[in-house]
Chain A
Amino acid sequence: MFNRNDVNTWPCFRPLIIAHDVGHRRDRSTAVVGGLGPFEPRLTGIKEAEELPQGLYGSARASALAIVDRRYHSDAVIVADLSNDATYAEVLFDTFGPSRVIGIQISRHGDGMTAERRPVKHGSMLFYTVGRTYLLELYHSELQASQIRIVDGPTTRRAYEQLMALETEIRDSGIVYTCPPGHHDDLGISCAMLAWAARHPHLPYWTNTAMSARRPRRSLPPKISPLGWT
């Protein structure tokens, strides 16, 4: 029976989002699967968090992500953190096509509301610049407002524990969240990326473009001309 608080009972996500983070050494990457619930009021659900096999680069990493994507019928909008490897955009573009991948760059500042179109091999991709603090605080406020539902499991717990281990420093520029030495936060950051994407005002356009690219084109109607009459 459908229960809006239990992501496992949701019939689908509208839309389905996969947040894909690549670690700063580029040997670690993640895939967090979730999206908005199909019914109103729409909650953000996180169904699965996965650390992709370590030591994958370029197309091998994109293929590992494609395996996760295929489990969900290749219907996801893919939000990829390309801060550490801008060239990876080309590989994602090749793997998932021109319309399903949204690139984000995690930096010190920015709310990720301004789209920038960057050229990739045979087209272009939308990029957004988001502050790390903004991303984490948005996720925190969504959790506080009970707008996020998470399927409890070992990997989603690990993702949250990474966020619990973050240390905060108050600087002149604001609060800075740092990862303690020897710890990782990529799985936790991926959850925050998913929450950011799910509430983004451009989300309907991302999904419309992704879906329209897959819609079969109508054949042109036959030309009718008076010249045909003799």
Chain B
Amino acid sequence: MADEAARLSPDLIAALRPMRARRPEARFAMLSTAWSRTDPFWMLWDSDDPSWIRLKATADTVHYDPEFLERERRSLGEDAFKREYFGVPLGAQASPFTWELYERATQVHMPLVPPGPAFAPAVQERGVPIANPFKSTG
């Protein structure tokens, strides 16, 4: 039985598995609070592997005093609270790359009236010189 399995290294889990080789009736159990999305526990939990039975005991399946939960939320912060009480691992934060940013980068705005010659592209003024890396490195 691997307790706190999310915090164990993949190498340790790999070393545990062959221990059942001569005991086909033996079961390999992992117990853990969620931690990250790339640890051995979560990768099995999140996989489609039907050979695993998944049992969940989180604050939405077990009754806890709501006031107690609210105090815990305030004390731990949102991320740690979700991890400890709802089994939501770290890394659940959404990527900052939103679709709106992509749309903005691909949107082509065509002005109804074409710009005149005064809006022709200008030449950039020379700024502060930067050392040539081809000369400065040994």
Contacts from A to B (Cβ < 8 Å): 1, 3, 5-6, 38-40, 42, 115-117, 126, 140, 143-144, 146, 148-152, 156-157, 160, 163-170, 177-178, 180-181, 188, 201-202, 204-205, 209
Nearest 10 interchain pairs by C-beta: A39-B121, A115-B133, A167-B91, A152-B106, A163-B97, A6-B108, A166-B95, A150-B105, A117-B137, A168-B93
Q: Contacts A117-B137, A126-B133 known; A3 to B108 CB distance under 8 Å?
A: yes
Q: Contacts A140-B96, A178-B37 known; A150 to B43 CB distance under 8 Å?
A: no
Q: Contacts A140-B97, A180-B37 known; A1 to B107 CB distance under 8 Å?
A: no
A221 to B95, CA, bound (A): 62
Q: Contacts A150-B105, A151-B106 known; A168 to B95 CB distance under 8 Å?
A: yes
Cβ–Cβ < 8 Å partners of A177 in chain B: 95
Among the stretches B11-19, B20-28, B122-130, the one at the interface with A is B122-130
The answer to whether B92 has its CB under 8 Å from any CB of chain A is yes
Of the four ranges (under 10, 10 to 19, 20 to 34, 35 or more), the interface on chain B belongs to 35 or more
CB distance from A217 to the nearest CB of B (A): 18
- The number of A-B residue pairs with CB atoms under 8 Å apart is 95
Cβ–Cβ < 8 Å partners of B109 in chain A: 3, 5
The answer to whether B36 has its CB under 8 Å from any CB of chain A is yes
Question: Do residues B134 and A160 form an inter-chain contact, with CB atoms below 8 A?
Answer: no
CB distance from B21 to the nearest CB of A (A): 26
Q: Within B101-125, which residues are at the interface with A (CB < 8 Å)?
A: 101-102, 104-110, 114, 121-124
Cβ–Cβ < 8 Å partners of B91 in chain A: 167-169, 178
A146 to B79, CA, bound (A): 31
Q: What per-residue 1/0 map shows which CB atoms of B17-58 lie under 8 Å from chain A?
A: 000000000000000000011100001001000000000000
Q: Contacts A117-B137, A164-B99 known; A143 to B105 CB distance under 8 Å?
A: yes
Question: Do residues B108 and A167 form an inter-chain contact, with CB atoms below 8 A?
Answer: no
CB distance from B19 to the nearest CB of A (A): 24
Cβ–Cβ < 8 Å partners of A117 in chain B: 137-138
Q: Contacts A1-B114, A126-B137, A209-B134 known; A143 to B104 CB distance under 8 Å?
A: yes
CB distance from A168 to the nearest CB of B (A): 5
Closest to B103 in A: A152
A180 to B107, CA, bound (A): 29
Question: Do residues B104 and A202 form an inter-chain contact, with CB atoms below 8 A?
Answer: no
Question: Do residues A40 and B110 form an inter-chain contact, with CB atoms below 8 A?
Answer: no
Q: What per-residue 1/0 map shows which CB atoms of B86-100 lie under 8 Å from chain A?
A: 000011111111110
Q: Contacts A146-B104, A166-B95, A169-B90 known; A178 to B134 CB distance under 8 Å?
A: no
Interface core residue of B92, B106, B109 (most chain A CB under 10 Å)? B106
Of the A-B pairs whose beta carbons lie under 8 Å apart in the complex, a sample of 26, sorted by A's number, is: A5-B107, A5-B108, A39-B121, A39-B122, A40-B121, A42-B124, A117-B138, A126-B137, A140-B96, A140-B97, A143-B97, A143-B101, A143-B102, A146-B105, A152-B106, A163-B95, A164-B95, A164-B98, A165-B95, A167-B37, A168-B94, A169-B36, A169-B91, A169-B93, A181-B37, A201-B130
CB distance from B14 to the nearest CB of A (A): 16
A140 to B90, CA, bound (A): 21
Cβ–Cβ < 8 Å partners of B104 in chain A: 143, 146
Question: Do residues B97 and A164 form an inter-chain contact, with CB atoms below 8 A?
Answer: yes
CB distance from B47 to the nearest CB of A (A): 8
A168 to B137, CA, bound (A): 36
